[in-house]
Structure 1
Amino acid sequence: MSFRLPDSKEPDVLLSFLQDISNNNENLSSEEITIIASLKDHENEDIREAVAQSLAGVEDEAAVNILIALTTDEDSSVRSWATFGLGNFDIPNVTNVLWDRIDDEDEETRFEAISGLAKRKDARIKGIIARELSTGEFGSLLFEAIAELGDPDFLPSLELLLAQSSEDKTIDEVWLKHLKNCIDVLKEY
């Protein structure tokens, strides 16, 4: 795959260009990463988000550095995608970047960082997960992080949460399914 930036600089055209790349980014060359990188500071947050999506999971130092830079973007969706994109890289500077996002004001970004650290089995994340559980305000991404960490110490809290939530008809069924799955995973430890 070889490409160049579209002649049109219209956001919709650039967005379509980047979305096509994000669907097939396994074999990006250094030159192609440089082309994508040229859009990382674009004034349109959707373009910056699409840059993060295009480079998510790309194992290349330049791509990782672009994602690291985007984790501090002013737009929460850009930060979230960049943090997600770094989640599978187990290298020290990425671990530090994930820790920098632990207290992000955006819940999704924060939980992407927690998930990335849980994948690394970073024992320090246990206290952060407990803190998030105690707030009562969290999505299913936190359950994924708990399952990734694989610490059965969370079982009593999760089982209590399930018992309290099962009868509540206002709770989303998908959320309950993720909770049950997390409990099942932890029971295997």
Structure 2
Amino acid sequence: ELAKNTVLDKSVNVRESTAFALSTFDSKASIPLLIKLLSDSHSSVRGWAAFAVRMNGYDSPEVRNCLVLLLQDGDFDVRFEAMVGLAKLRDKRVTQVLMNELGKEPVYDDLVEAAGDLGDIALLSVLYKLRDEFEPFDELNTSIEILENLKSKL
């Protein structure tokens, strides 16, 4: 109830703290508040709100659409949370953005893991390229295995 007031607070710190606090407990009642915070004017607030959505696995068409909009955010941390969140929701609208990001350095383990979570075999070519360029690591091996298993069932 108190959070309803803090999502509209003038202070960026209060809104950011609210988004973080909403990540620490799982209550679908917080989804409307997080949707407001996902469109906040400050990137740190948007980033924590996207983190809260991802950590609690919140899913609705409105949440997904907000995360898709955040794929174009100017702040990498916000885009990162949106990519990982959409991948966990298996929303294929993140496929191309994830492919592009996995083609850049540095390569983040969470994004490699997100490729497996997404379950889109189109990501296999990028993962194979990473395997050729870097020492194998658990997230990469797991994601490749997941996607190869999916491909074999087609």
- Normalised to the residue count of structure 1, the TM-score between the two structures is 0.65
The alpha-carbon distance between structure 1 residues 100 and 158, as it changes in their structure 2 partners (threshold 3 A), is: same
Q: Is 1:53 matched up with 2:14?
A: no
Letter in 2 for 1:181: T
1:23-102 map, 5 Å? 34-40=1-7, 41-45=9-13, 47-56=14-23, 57-60=26-29, 63-87=30-54, 88-102=57-71
SS at 2:103 equivalent: helix
1:86-165, aligned counterparts within 5 Å? 86-87=53-54, 88-165=57-134
Give the paired residue count. Answer: 145
| Greater relative contact order, per chain length (Cα 8 Å cut-off, separation 6+) | 2
Cα distance change, pair 72–165 in 1 and its aligned pair in 2 (3 A):
same
Deviations 1:38-81 (A, max 9, x none): 22325252x32221122234211xx2121112123344332112
Residue 179 (structure 1) aligned with residue 140 (structure 2): yes
- 8 A Cα contact 2:68 2:94, kept in partner: no
Largest Rg, 1 or 2: 1
Q: Could you say what secondary structure the match of 1:188 adopts?
A: helix
Q: Distance in 2 between matches of 1:124 and 1:75?
A: 24
TM-score, normalisation: structure 2: 0.78
Q: Is contact 1:37-1:51 (8 Å) kept?
A: no
Q: Per-residue CA shift, 1:145-174, capped at 9, x if unaligned?
A: 21111123322321221221229xxxxxxx
Q: Give 4+ residue runs of structure 1 displaced > 4 Å after superposition.
A: none
Give me the whole-angstrom Cα distance separating, in 1, the residues matched to 2:113 and 2:130. 15
What do you get for the CA RMSD once the two structures are aligned? Answer: 2.3
Greater fraction helix: 2
